[in-house]
Amino acid sequence: MIEYFKIGKLVAAHGINGELLLKHELGKKTSLKGLKTIFIEDRKHSFLPWFVQATRVKNKEEVFIKLDDVATREAAIKLAQKEVWITETDLKKFAAKSSPINLLGYTIIDEEKTLGQIIEVIEQAHQMLCKIELNKKEVLIPLNGDTLKKIDHKNKEVKVNLPDGLLEIYLE
């Protein structure tokens, strides 16, 4: 089964020929040259492929992207505000090695108890939040100086020490 990882969002249509602006969290300036397919979540856990015609850099966090079958501004507007997902292979190819987005797919462990796999990384000023699914509910795990104990890249694990009661907030 192919795993998909969210890298950002199509934030706006650009121009009149169906080009879109992708705001990404890959942690480095990239043109995404060689990326053949992006995926947009149609329904929960159901991804539709969109084939990439061309890309060009706008800045460190944004790329203009042209997709097959999106030839007008109106068609592009329909895709604006949609989240963009790519495969794990493409994520490894395009994300900066030090980028927090590389934690996608890692397992969060709190005091030897496995909580779940990171499905989204949300960067904030003083901490990162890792979204996991626990007991069929979305849970945000803060990663900061107080909670983060160790990142084990070899075993794809993030070891944390969570404050008492944090998980109960989500699970009650």
Pairwise CA distance, residues 84 & 57, whole Å: 16
Q: What is the CATH number of the domain that holds 149?
A: 2.30.30.240
Q: Where does a domain end: 40, 65, 95?
A: 95
- In terms of residue numbers, what domain contains 127? 105-171
pTM of the model: 0.71
- Same structural domain, 29 and 73: yes
- Same structural domain, 67 and 8: yes
Q: What is the CATH number of the domain that holds 44?
A: 2.40.30.60
Residue pLDDT tens, the chain, 172 long: 678 888 999 999 999 999 999 999 888 888 899 999 999 987 777 789 999 999 999 998 899 999 999 999 999 999 999 999 999 889 888 888 777 878 888 999 998 899 999 988 888 778 889 999 988 889 999 988 889 899 888 999 999 999 888 888 888 7
- Same structural domain, 14 and 84: yes
Residue located via tokens 């107080």: 146
Pairwise CA distance, residues 63 & 108, whole Å: 31
- Same structural domain, 21 and 86: yes
